Amino acid sequence: MAADGHVVGVHTGSTRDHVDHRERAAAPPYDWNHDGALDEHDGANGLESDLLRAKDRIKTLTGSEPALVRPTYGVTNEAVRAVYRDLGLRMLLWHVDSRDALDHRRGAGTIEANIRSQVRTQIAVGRPVIIVLFHDINFATQAHLDDYLIAIYEAAEAEGKVAAFPTSREELHAWLDEILGIDHDAVPDKPYETIPAILH
């Protein structure tokens, strides 16, 4: 995946699936590297242990350490953001939630309508870069991704804009630098309601 130009970030490193980062930040650390000692290399809490474990695994598989993290459910608190800062991870959230994880049983048309509506709303408030959340693990999303991307294009066009997507790792990094030029402390403790594309 990384060899194909994808940027790989961390979502979770817990042995439990989709665990809330706030819960893990309140949990004790564990010996993630199995060196027989609970020490500073294991982090200060469960979330640090999880993310250190995930970063190590991603670096082993891709050759580079991840710099991005997306919190589960998009929710954080100061303790979580402090862990991200301590580990040099930049938080990436979204502006448009496609709701593909929740609405896939209601059909692609429902998801497309949701995407169109939310993208148009984001354009209306003047957002030049829009991040859209998709779950590629969802088979319905895999099957209808082209339709969803067309919905983004059509929503932008309806607002007199042109949707563009990054075509190189360098372009993606430049966009992410623009998007992530935010103070972690300014991020609310609740999820955003949003998705990604550049609009011209």
CA distance 182 to 48: 22
DSSP tag of 166 = -
Q: How far apart are CA 81 and CA 77, in angstroms?
A: 6
* Residues of the chain predicted below pLDDT 50: 182-200
Each residue's pLDDT tens digit, 21-55: 999 999 999 888 788 888 877 889 999 999 999 99
pLDDT at 24: 94
Note the pLDDT of residue 127. 86
- The rounded radius of gyration (Å) of the Cα atoms in the chain is 18
The structural domains of the chain, with segments of one domain joined by +, span: 2-91, 94-200
Helix, coil or strand: residue 200: coil
CA-nearest of 62, 107, 66 to 84 is: 66
Report pTM. 0.78
